[in-house]
Amino acid sequence: MNPKYKPLFENFTLRSGIRLDNRIVMAPMTNWSSNEDGTVSDTEVDYYIRRAGGVGIVVTACTYVTRNGKGFAGEFGADTDDMIPGLRRLASAIKEKGAVALLQIFHGGRLCPPELVPGGDIVSASDVPSEQNANVRPRPLQDDEIEAIVRDFGETTRRAIEAGFDGVEIHGANGYLLQQFFSPHTNRRVDRWGGDLTKRLTFPLAVVDEVKRVVAEHANRPFAVGYRFSPEEPEENGITMDDTLKLVDVLAGLELDYLHVSLMDFSSKPRVGADESKSRLQWIVDTAGGRTPVIGVGSVHTPEEALEALLTGAALVALGRELIMEPDWVAKVAEGREAEIATTLSKHDQRRLIIPDPLWRCIMGAPGWFPVVD
């Protein structure tokens, strides 16, 4: 190994006591490949097995906590106990490769396709349509429904414990339901669930509290809880960097195992709410102030870029698209073969890389998402 990359391979212990062999995380990525009934498919398991060797943590694609929260076709569910056997297969497969297995849990809110939701009943904090579902005005959730969804996050956490996962990641990013409650653009409520920033935090923090309560009650082993968030929104009156830094300050005081920022580019600068003297990641790390570890992510392909992300003070660095293109990334860096790391895809790579058909079709059908060469 090139000595300069040793920081990537230092071990790390999460607050819960879970020990990581290195600082590399497989980022959560949708693959659209579950069975039609929402159970985990053989194809998904094989996809994770191919990528779990070497990384410290695998965070799965998001799983819905309740049936009306399904955000994608081909998304696996964790909304009933019937899903536990499939979840157990997935957790076991990841852990057998040596990685810590974390289940990302979420509700899609207004971003759920109507055809995937019972009765097409799309719900959110308020009745603000999304650009994705522009013709669908979501129904604002009632008080008792919000409380039920909070409990659903707890029940899904219990299932994750029973299935053998090492932890859960609460998905509060990418415009999904938790972010819809936090954002002033999508939360126009005037009850206890909306209003000023403190009230808009009520639902996300209730989910965190419930997940932690369930862990304390049901986990008889170290079990991690992380939280993922997006730092800014492009919409008018959306989340600003200042809002996010206040969110980070609150979350950093809740004894979570980590905070995971969702970024397309780890070096990107703030647009609104903080100056450009530092990257978004650096602002977030500095605000967390060492109270809770931060995972940095966003267009990390080379070990040099991974090292640069760590140098911001982030404790861990997540690789997403890069691990799809190069499942052996960690091994090649560890063995001093970083010059062999693939940073592009060939149109003939699908079978070799064990990429499920639905994910492959999306990659091929979205020019610019991945660097594809002939």
Active site residues: 176
The CB density around residue 69, as the number of other CB atoms within 10 Å, is 28
First to last CA, the chain: 31
Q: Is 19 left (phi over 0), alpha (psi -120 to 50) or beta?
A: beta
Count of helices and strands (H, E) across the chain: 13, 14
Euclidean distance between CA atoms 286 and 264, whole angstroms: 20
Which segments within 32-155 are labelled E, that is strand?
A: 57-64, 100-106, 123-124, 139-140
Token digits of residue 225: 């809880």
| DSSP H helical ranges for the chain | 42-52, 84-96, 143-163, 177-182, 197-200, 202-218, 241-251, 280-288, 303-310, 321-325, 329-334, 350-353, 357-364
What are the residues whose beta carbons fall under 8 Å from the beta carbon of 250, sequence distance 6 or more? 201, 205
Euclidean distance between CA atoms 207 and 219, whole angstroms: 17
CB 324 within 8 A of CB 353: yes
Strands 345-346 and 316-319: unpaired
CB 5 within 8 A of CB 303: yes
Euclidean distance between CA atoms 27 and 57, whole angstroms: 9
Residue positions counted in the chain: 374
User: What's the half-sphere exposure (Cβ side, CA atoms, 13 Å) at 245?
Assistant: 18
Euclidean distance between CA atoms 224 and 35, whole angstroms: 27
